[in-house]
C-alpha cells in the first residue's frame, strides 16, 4: 500500500473537481484529484455550453478565463418558437444588462486541464475502486487502485465531485441521505455537426411533434436536440431522419435557411430532476452532479456545479487560511437553496416546452396559456431572463 497525505482529496475530474482543484491550488491549499476515466474520455463528452455570469467570473478568478474571453460568444437573448411564432427573450433588456456566454463545457474542461498541468496540479487518472473511509472522524482517508496497486491518501476533507454515478453520494448512510427525484417520460436526441448555426441566437421550439433546440458551439459548429421517446435508440436515427424531424419542428424560414451536414456525435440523454440532501456528511462535501441533476432545458447543470464550487471554495479557504469554519458549516444549506431554485426553473422550462405523452386536453391548454402569458407580460419575461442569466450567488 502506498500512502500520502494532502489537505483536500477531490473525487472526480469533471468541471466541478477541476475548477475546485485550480482555485484551491492558487490559494495555496494542497489537493489531489482522483478521476476514473482517461483525460481523452473526459474531453470526449459533449455537454451544454451556456455559461452564466457567475461561472464566467469564477473561471476568471481561477486564472482560466483567457480563451473563454477570446473565443466565447456573449449572447444578449434567445428565441422561443411556438404555434408558428418566433418570439425573443431579451436577456440584457429584461435582466439589467446581464447576458450569458456561449462556450462549450468541453472547452471549459480543456482549459482547466491545461491550467492544472501548467501549475503542476496532481490529477490521477484511471483510478479504480475509490472508497471513502472514516468520514465522521477528523482523520478521513481515501483508498483506490491504480494499475493493480492499492493507494491511500489521508486528508482533512474529501470532496465528492464524481457526478451522478459516482461513489461519494453512495458513501453517505441511507438513514442520513434524502433523495428527491423526478424522471421525465422522454429524452433528448442530440447532434453535433460542423455546420454554421441555424440562427445567431439559440432557438427553443415548442411543437406538437415535440420539443426542439438549435444551439451552437461557435460559428462553424452547431448543436441540435429533439425530444424523442425513451424507447428510441440513437443508432436507429439516420442523419437524414434527424434533420427532417428537426426541421418539421422549427419555423419554416429557419428550417429552409439552415445548413445540414454529417453528424459528428449523436446520443440520447434521459431527462431527470434529482437532489440529494444534505450535501455534507462529516468530512465529505458533495458538489455538482454528484448532488443534483437538472433536465437540460435552460442549461443549468454546469452552472449549478459552479455555484457549489464557489460556496465550497469560500468555506475551504476560510477554514485553511483563516481558521474560520462558518462558511463551511453553512455550505450544504446555502448551496441547496440555490440548487432548488434552479431545479424549479429547469422543471418549469421543461414543462413549458415539451410534449408530455400523458397530457390531457386541459394540460395542453394550460401549457398554451403559460406561453401566451410569457409573451404578453414583461414581468414574466423578466422572471425567465433573471433565472436564465443565473440567480445571484
Ligand atoms: N472515482 C473517480 N472518479 C469518478 C468516479 C469514481 N468512483 N465516478 C465518477 N467519476 C468521475 C467521472 O468519470 C467524471 O469525469 O467524476 C467525474 C464527474 O464529472 P461530471 O459528471 O461532468 O460532473 P461535474 O464535474 O459535477 O460536472 C457538472 O454539469 O453540464 C452539467 O452534467 C453536466 O457534467 C456536467 C455537470
Ligand atoms: C447546448 O448547447 O448543448 C445547450 C444549450 C442550451 C440548453 C441545453 C443545451 O438549454
pLDDT per residue over 268-304, tens digit each? 999 999 999 999 999 999 999 999 999 999 999 999 9
pLDDT digits (tens, 9 = 90+) for 347-381: 999 999 999 999 999 999 999 999 999 999 999 99
How far the first Cα of the chain sits from its last, in Å, is 42
The pLDDT assigned to 354 comes to 98
> What pLDDT score was predicted for residue 47?
84
Burial degree of 386 (CB within 10 A; 0-12, 13-18, 19+): middle
Annotate 215-228 with DSSP letters as a single string: EEEETTEEEEEEEE
CA 315 to chain centre: 22
* Ligand located closest to 289 CA: 1
Q: Tell me what pLDDT residue 45 has.
A: 84
Q: What single string gives the DSSP state of each residue in 219-287?
A: TTEEEEEEEE-TT--GGGS-HHHHHHHHHHTS-HHHHHH-----EEEEEEEEEEEEEEE-SEETTEEE-
**pLDDT in the model for residue 290:** 98
Question: Which numbered atom of ligand 2 lies nearest the CA of 46?
Answer: 3
Please name which of 217, 205, 215 lies closest in space to residue 250, comparing C-alpha atoms. 205
188 CA from centroid of ligand 2 (Å): 11
| Averaged pLDDT score across all residues of the chain | 97
CA 101/CA 80 separation, integer angstroms: 18
Model pLDDT for residues 197-256, shown as the tens digit of each residue: 999 999 999 999 999 999 999 999 999 999 999 999 999 999 999 999 999 999 999 999
Ligand 2 centre distance from Cα of residue 130 (Å): 32
What pLDDT was estimated at residue 44? 86
Between the CA of 69 and the centroid of ligand 2 the distance, in Å, is 19
Residues above pLDDT 70, as percent of the chain: 100
Residues 159-208: pLDDT tens digits?
A: 999 999 999 999 999 999 999 999 999 999 999 999 999 999 999 999 99
Judged against a pLDDT cut of 90, whether residue 319 lies above it is answered with yes
Tens digits of residue pLDDT in 87-126: 999 999 999 999 999 999 999 999 999 999 999 999 999 9
Distance (Å, whole) CA 171 – CA 286: 11
| Structural domains present in the chain | 2-75+101-180+272-349 (3.50.50.60), 184-270+357-389 (3.30.9.10)
Please tell me the predicted confidence (pLDDT) of residue 313.
Answer: 98
In this prediction, residue 323 carries a pLDDT of: 98
What is the distance in A from the centroid of ligand 1 to the CA of 164? 7
Model confidence at 332: pLDDT above 90: yes
pLDDT at res. 46: 80
Q: If you take atom 8 of ligand 2, which residue's CA is the nearest one?
A: 299
Is residue 50 within 6 Å of ligand 2 at its C-beta?
yes
Q: What is the percentage of the chain residues whose pLDDT exceeds 90?
A: 98
pLDDT band at 136 (very low <50, low <70, confident <90, very high): very high
CB atoms within 10 A of CB 326: 11
Probe residue for ligand 1, chosen from 14, 100, 225, 302 as the CB with the greatest number of ligand atoms within 8 Å: 14
Distance between Cα 14 and ligand 1 center (Å): 5
CA distance 257 to 269: 27
Which residue, judged by its Cα, is nearest atom 6 of ligand 2?
A: 299
The pLDDT value recorded for residue 48 is 85
What positions carry a catalytic annotation? 75, 204, 296, 300, 388
Question: Looking at ligand 2, which atom is closest to the CA of residue 215?
Answer: 2
Q: Cα-atom radius of gyration of the chain, to the nearest Å? A: 21
Dig out the grid coordinates for 102 from the structure: 456561449
Predicted local confidence at residue 321, as pLDDT = 98
- What are the distances in angstroms from CA 257 to CA 74, 141, 176, 247, 307? 23, 57, 54, 10, 38
Any atom of ligand 1 within 6 Å of the Cβ of 105: yes
Amino acid at each position: 500500500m502506498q500512502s500520502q497525505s494532502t489537505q483536500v482529496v477531490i473525487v472526480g475530474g469533471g468541471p466541478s473537481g477541476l475548477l475546485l482543484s485550480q482555485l484551491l491550488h492558487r490559494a495555496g491549499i494542497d489537493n489531489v484529484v482522483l478521476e476514473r476515466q482517461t483525460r481523452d474520455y473526459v474531453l470526449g463528452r459533449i455537454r451544454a455550453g451556456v455559461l452564466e455570469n457567475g461561472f464566467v467570473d469564477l473561471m476568471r478568478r481561477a486564472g482560466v478565463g483567457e480563451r473563454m474571453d477570446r473565443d466565447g460568444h456573449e449572447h444578449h437573448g434567445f428565441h422561443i418558437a411556438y404555434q408558428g411564432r418566433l418570439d425573443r427573450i431579451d436577456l440584457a433588456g429584461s435582466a439589467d444588462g446581464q447576458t450569458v456566454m456561449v462556450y462549450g463545457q468541453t472547452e471549459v474542461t480543456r482549459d482547466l486541464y491545461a491550467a492544472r498541468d501548467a501549475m503542476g496540479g496532481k490529477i490521477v487518472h484511471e483510478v479504480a475502486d475509490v472508497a471513502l473511509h472514516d468520514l465522521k472522524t477528523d482523520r478521513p482517508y481515501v483508498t483506490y487502485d491504480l494499475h493493480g496497486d492499492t493507494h491511500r491518501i489521508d486528508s482533512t476533507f474529501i470532496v465528492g465531485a464524481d457526478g451522478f454515478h459516482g461513489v461519494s453520494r453512495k458513501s453517505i448512510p441511507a438513514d442520513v441521505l434524502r433523495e428527491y427525484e423526478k424522471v421525465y417520460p422522454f429524452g433528448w436526441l442530440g447532434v453535433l455537426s460542423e455546420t454554421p448555426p441555424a440562427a445567431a441566437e439559440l432557438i427553443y421550439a415548442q411543437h406538437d411533434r415535440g420539443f426542439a433546440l438549435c444551439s451552437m458551439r461557435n460559428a462553424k459548429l452547431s448543436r441540435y436536440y429533439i425530444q424523442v421517446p425513451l424507447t428510441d435508440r440513437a443508432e436507429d436515427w439516420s442523419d437524414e431522419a434527424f434533420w427532417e424531424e428537426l426541421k418539421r419542428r422549427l419555423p419554416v424560414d429557419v428550417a429552409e435557411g439552415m445548413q445540414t451536414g454529417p453528424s459528428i456525435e449523436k446520443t440520447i440523454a434521459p431527462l431527470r430532476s434529482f437532489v440529494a440532501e444534505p450535501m455534507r456528511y462529516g468530512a465529505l462535501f458533495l458538489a455538482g452532479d454528484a448532488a443534483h441533476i437538472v433536465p437540460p432545458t435552460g442549461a443549468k447543470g454546469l452552472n449549478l456545479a459552479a455555484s457549489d464550487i464557489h460556496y465550497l471554495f469560500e468555506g475551504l479557504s476560510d477554514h485553511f487560511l483563516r481558521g474560520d469554519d462558518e462558511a463551511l458549516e453553512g455550505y450544504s444549506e446555502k448551496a441547496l437553496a440555490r440548487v432548488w431554485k434552479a431545479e424549479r426553473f429547469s422543471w418549469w422550462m421543461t414543462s413549458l416546452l415539451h410534449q408530455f405523452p400523458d397530457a390531457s386536453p386541459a394540460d395542453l391548454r394550460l401549457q398554451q396559456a403559460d406561453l401566451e402569458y410569457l409573451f404578453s407580460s414583461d414581468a414574466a419575461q423578466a422572471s425567465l431572463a433573471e433565472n436564465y442569466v443565473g440567480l445571484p450567488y
